Structures are given as structure tokens and as C-alpha cells.
């Protein structure tokens, strides 16, 4: 019941994001490049939330001690880690989804120099405004939040939104007839994983962590709302950047 109430409350925010003007602005290769140059930071910090969950809910210490969590929760997290940190590329080689996304960016001519410099220096000032606030919040939750808060940010700010977003981008690239097999593979893979596997697994994880505890569900709701609001701000920043580039070209 508590889970259903949370889903109902967040439905309006999810619907608003699904209809964000940013999706409509993705009407050219140039706009997709701009989108990717912002979104790559969300791809990166997604892994920080996931690894935080893995550290908290499974055992990554030596000597190993069995996790006190429900074994199903441990399995959920480890399955998601395998899919995100060591999936297979189109040629069957192991690769993280972050690295696969970088390859897709290079394939379509998006600039990867800035995010690579950020990864080397961890200088937050290198992240474009709009994306920076989103990353800063998620890193803070990953480091300082409760297990429930991390799981909520992971689920409601990330997994539940990805299929709609990537379906829109895939449609645009197909309509533009852009040859980008790595990007299409990445999009299709995430639509498959996040919609059919990782999203439901993340929901089960949050359900297991909250149980029937009203306070925990309220905490999950608070983080979910803030995560969705920051995601909306990220899309606002992307839209502004796309419009700015269009005006320069004109």
C-alpha cells in the first residue's frame, strides 16, 4: 500500500519529465551531441549510486562476511552491477556502460574531452551548470544518505526514467538516418535492461528496504521528489544549451 501511494504521488512528476521540451528539441545530430555532452555526467554518477548500494547492501570487504540483507536484495544489486559495469559491447567484449556511452559520443562527434578531464581531476567546476547540481546531489546522497535514500535516488531519479528518454533519442537518430551503431546498441540495451530488468529489480530492492515502515517510505518519497526535480533542472539546462547552439548556427 505504501509503495503504491508513493508511485501515485510521483506519477505527475514522471509524466512531466516524459513530456519535457528537451525531447522535442532533439531534432538533429547537433542537438543529440549537446544532449550527450550533458547527459554523460548523469551516466557517470549513476554508477556512484549503484556502487554505494553495493557497498552498503552486499559485502565487498576482506575477509568476506555474509551480508545481513535479504539474499534477494544482494542478488538484485549484484545483477545490476554486472549489467552496468561489465556488460557486453556489440562485438561481445566486456565493457562498462559509461565507456560504451563515451564510444557512442565519439561515434556521433560529441565532445568527450571535458568529461575525461573531469574524471581525471574530479574538478566539479568542469561539469556544465545544470548537470553540476544534479551530480553534486547524487554524490552527496551516495556518500551520506541512508540505504533507503540511496535506493530511492537510484530508482526514481534514474532507472524509471531511462526507457522513455532513450526511446525518444533512438527515434530521432533513426529519422535523421545517422549511422551510429554503437549509440543505437547502447540505447536499445538500456531500454531492454532498465525497462524489463533493472527497473523492476530496483523497485524490489527499495520495497525490501522500506517494508511497512512509514518513516522509511516518507524518506524515499522526499529523495525521489528532489531527484526528479533536479532531473528536470538538468533537462532545462540541456534545452537552454541546445537553443543557444541553434541560435549560433542561425
pTM value surpassing 0.85: yes
pLDDT tens across the length of the chain (250 residues): 456 777 777 888 877 887 888 888 888 889 989 999 999 999 999 999 999 999 999 999 999 999 998 898 899 899 889 988 999 998 999 999 999 999 999 999 999 999 999 999 999 999 999 999 999 999 999 999 999 999 999 888 764 555 566 777 777 777 777 788 999 898 888 777 765 666 777 888 898 899 999 999 999 999 999 999 999 999 999 999 999 998 888 7
Among 138, 148, 172, CA closest to 42: 138
Environment class of 144 (CB within 10 Å of its CB; exposed 0-12, middle 13-18, buried 19+): exposed
- For residue 146, give Cα distances in angstroms to 43, 100, 153, 168, 244: 22, 30, 11, 33, 39
Total Cβ atoms within 10 A of residue 133:
15
Yes or no: say if 180 and 108 are a contact pair by the CB < 8 Å rule: yes
DSSP H or E run through 88? strand 87-88
- The cell numbers describing 121, all together, are 581531476
Give pLDDT, residue 162. 57
- Mention every residue, 6+ apart, whose C-beta is less than 8 A from residue 198: 80, 83, 84, 159
Give pLDDT, residue 182. 93
Q: Number of helices (H) and strands (E), helices first, in the chain? A: 12, 2
Give pLDDT, residue 143. 97
Residue 94: strand, helix, or coil: strand
Environment class of 128 (CB within 10 Å of its CB; exposed 0-12, middle 13-18, buried 19+): middle
- At which residue does the C-alpha cell 526511446 appear? 167
Give the sign of the dihedral formed by CA 193, CA 196, CA 199, CA 200.
negative
Yes or no: say if 44 and 119 are a contact pair by the CB < 8 Å rule: yes
Amino acid at each position: 500500500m505504501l509503495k503504491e501511494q508513493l508511485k501515485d504521488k510521483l506519477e505527475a512528476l514522471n509524466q512531466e519529465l516524459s513530456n519535457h521540451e528537451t525531447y522535442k528539441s532533439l531534432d538533429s545530430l547537433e542537438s543529440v551531441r549537446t544532449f550527450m555532452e550533458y547527459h554523460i555526467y548523469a551516466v557517470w554518477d549513476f554508477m556512484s549510486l549503484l556502487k554505494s548500494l553495493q557497498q552498503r547492501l552486499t559485502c565487498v570487504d576482506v575477509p568476506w562476511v555474509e551480508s545481513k540483507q535479504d539474499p534477494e536484495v544482494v542478488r538484485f544489486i549484484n545483477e545490476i552491477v554486472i549489467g552496468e559495469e561489465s556488460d557486453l559491447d556489440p562485438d561481445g567484449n566486456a565493457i562498462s556502460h559509461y565507456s560504451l556511452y563515451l564510444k557512442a559520443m565519439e561515434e556521433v562527434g560529441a565532445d568527450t574531452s571535458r568529461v575525461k578531464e573531469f574524471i581525471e581531476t574530479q574538478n566539479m567546476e568542469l561539469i556544465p551548470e545544470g548537470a553540476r547540481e544534479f551530480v553534486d546531489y547524487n554524490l552527496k546522497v551516495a556518500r551520506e544518505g541512508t540505504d533507503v535514500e540511496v535506493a530511492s535516488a537510484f530508482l526514481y531519479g534514474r532507472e524509471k526514467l531511462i526507457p522513455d528518454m532513450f526511446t525518444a533519442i533512438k527515434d530521432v537518430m533513426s529519422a535523421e538516418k545517422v549511422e551510429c551503431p554503437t549509440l543505437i546498441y547502447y540505447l536499445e540495451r538500456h531500454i531492454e535492461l532498465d525497462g524489463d530488468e533493472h527497473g523492476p529489480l530496483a523497485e524490489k530492492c527499495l520495497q525490501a528496504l522500506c517494508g511497512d515502515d512509514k518513516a522509511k517510505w516518507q524518506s524515499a518519497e522526499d529523495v525521489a521528489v528532489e531527484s526528479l526535480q533536479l532531473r528536470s533542472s538538468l533537462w532545462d539546462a540541456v534545452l537552454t544549451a541546445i537553443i543557444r547552439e541553434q541560435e549560433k548556427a542561425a
